[in-house]
Chain A
C-alpha cells in the first residue's frame, strides 16, 4: 500500500515535471511592419540641400531670430525651445502677442490673438520624420504636422512665418509675409553675407534658401542615443528590468502597431477620439476633417509634456489612463463616436509603471541645447521669452 502510494507520488511528480518543462516560451513575435529598432547614427539630407557647417550656423541664427515674425517678438525657438525638448511645455502654444517661456508664458493682452490650435511637437529627431519600420525614409517627402499637410522640413519652415497666430500677427498679410521677412533679412549685412557664403550669388536671400538653411539646422537636432537605442545596438544593460518588461507590455498592448519603427510612429493618421481643448473655442477636426491625427513620435517623450494634440494630458500616466478609458469604451470627444475609433486600438492593460519606465528609455537628453548669445538682427534671442 505504502509503496503504491510512494510510487504514484513520484510518478505524478515526474508527469508534472515533464509537463512544466514542455511549456517552453517561444517568445513574443513582432510583425516586420510593427518592428522597433535603434535610430541610425547619421542623418540623410535631401539631394538639393546638403549640410555644411556654415549653413547650419545660418539656420540656427534664423531659428532664434524674432526678425522672422511680424512684431519681431516670436522666433521658432519661442515654441521649440531647447529647455523644453524643443517643444514649449504648454498645452497650446502662445505665439504672437505673448511673453515669457514655458509655464509662465502668457498673452500680453488676452483675447487679442488666439492660441495656436495644437500642442507643439518636439523638433528633436524631426530629421527622421517619415521613417518606416525598416529605418528607411526620404527627407524630401518627410511628412510634417499632426494632419500631414506638408512634406519636408524645407517646405515646413516657411509656414509658421506666414501663420497669423504663430509668427505673422497683424503686421503682414498672409500673402506678403514671406516677402516682407526676406526684405528685412536683406537689410541686415550679416544675413546678406551669410546667405552669400552659404548659397552663392548676390540674390541668395530667397524663400527657398531661407527654408533650406532652417531645415539644415533642424537636421542637427538629433537625439539617437537613448537607453533603448543602446539596448537594441547590443548593450543588454542599457535598459532596466522594468523598462524591458515595459517594452513587452508596449508590444502586447499593440502600441507598436501605430508607434512603430525607430521613431515610434507610423506617420499615419488615426482616429483616437482625443477631446478638444476648450480654450480653442472650436473643434479641431484633424486630417481632412476626419478627426484623424498623425501618430506622434514617442522619442524624448519624457521631456515634452503635456501630451496629445490638445495638450491636455499632463503626464504619461494621464496618457495611459486615456488609453484605458478608450479600452473601456468611453467616448471622450463629443464629435467622435466609439465606432469611429481606429480598429488598431486594442490596449488591454496600460496604466503600468513598467510601460512608463519604458517610455523613459526612449529619451536621450544629450542633444544640442546651446542657444546663441546674439542673433544678427540684434533683437532679443528667441523673441519675447523673458
Chain B
C-alpha cells in the first residue's frame, strides 16, 4: 500500500514540475534481456513499449522525465511475465548526440508459472511491486530519433534477503 502512495506522489510531483515548461513526448520500443541469464534460467528475452514526457530544466542540457510502460518477458519453458513500469529521472545531455540518465521507479510484475506434470498442472500467478533504479545511455540521431541502452535493477525483499533482478533494455525512441 505504501508503495502505491509513493508512486502516486511521484506522478503528481512530476506532473506539476513539468507544467511550467514545454513538454516533449517520446515513444520508446524496448528489447529487454535478463542480464542474470547465466544465474537464473527463468527469463530470457522480453519486449516493451514506453511513453515518456520530458521537460528541460533551466539549461537545455538537463531534463527531467517521466515514463510509463509495459514489458513482457516471453516464455522460458515455465515462466512469462507482464510488467507495468513507472520510471522518473533526470537526463543530462553530454554532447550534441550523447546523453546519460538516472531514474527511480517501480515495476509491477505479474508472473505466470506453468508446470505440466503428467497428472496435474500447476498454473500460478505471482504479483509483486518491485522498486527499481535505472541507469541509461542515449544517442540522438537527427532530432527525433534515439537509441537507448538502459540497465534496470529491481529489488525484491524475500525471506529476509534482498534479491536483485537485473534487466537490460536496448531501445529505439521517437520524439513526437
Which residues from chain B sit less than 8 Å from chain A, CB to CB?
27, 29, 38-42, 47, 49, 72, 74-75, 77-80, 112-121, 123-124, 126, 158-159, 161, 163, 174
Given A24-B80, A25-B75, A248–B47 Cβ distance below 8 Å? Answer: no
The interface residues of chain B, by DSSP majority, are classed as strand
A19-42 Cβ-contact flags toward B at 8 Å (1 or 0): 110011111111110011100000
A20 and B40 form a contact (CB under 8 A): no
B159 and A26 form a contact (CB under 8 A): no
Closest to A133 in B: B118
Residues in B whose Cβ lies below 8 Å from that of A252: 41, 77-78
A236 within 8 A of B: yes
Closest to B45 in A: A23
A249 and B117 form a contact (CB under 8 A): no
Contact of B39 among A244, A251, A349, A357 (CB under 8 A): A349
A23 and B116 form a contact (CB under 8 A): no
Contact of A241 among B38, B72, B117, B126 (CB under 8 A): B126
A28 and B78 form a contact (CB under 8 A): yes
Could you tell me the distance between the alpha carbons of A244 and B122 in the complex, rounded to whole angstroms? Answer: 10
Residues in A whose Cβ lies below 8 Å from that of B123: 27
Residues in A whose Cβ lies below 8 Å from that of B29: 12, 16
Bin chain A's interface residue count. 35 or more
Among B41, B42, B114: residue with most chain A CB under 10 A: B41
A25 and B112 form a contact (CB under 8 A): yes
Contact of A251 among B115, B124, B174 (CB under 8 A): B115
Sample of 8 A–B contacts (CB below 8 Å) = A25-B114, A28-B115, A35-B119, A242-B163, A248-B113, A252-B77, A252-B78, A352-B40
Which residues from chain A sit less than 8 Å from chain B, CB to CB?
9, 12-13, 16, 19-20, 23-32, 35-37, 232, 236, 240-242, 244-245, 247-249, 251-253, 348-349, 351-354, 357
Given A240-B159, A349-B40, A9–B115 Cβ distance below 8 Å? Answer: no
Residues in B whose Cβ lies below 8 Å from that of A35: 117-119
A248 and B115 form a contact (CB under 8 A): yes
Given A9-B27, A27-B115, A35-B117, A248–B79 Cβ distance below 8 Å? Answer: yes
B116 and A29 form a contact (CB under 8 A): yes
Could you tell me the distance between the alpha carbons of A249 and B39 in the complex, rounded to whole angstroms? Answer: 11
B41 and A348 form a contact (CB under 8 A): yes
Could you tell me the distance between the alpha carbons of A26 and B121 in the complex, rounded to whole angstroms? Answer: 11
Residues in A whose Cβ lies below 8 Å from that of B38: 349
B119 and A26 form a contact (CB under 8 A): no
Given contacts A16-B49, A241-B126, 4 further A-B contacts (CB under 8 A): A12-B29, A25-B112, A27-B114, A248-B78
B79 and A25 form a contact (CB under 8 A): yes
Could you tell me the distance between the alpha carbons of A28 and B119 in the complex, rounded to whole angstroms? Answer: 14
Given A251-B115, A349-B39, A13–B49 Cβ distance below 8 Å? Answer: yes
A27 and B78 form a contact (CB under 8 A): yes
Given A9-B27, A357-B159, A249–B41 Cβ distance below 8 Å? Answer: yes
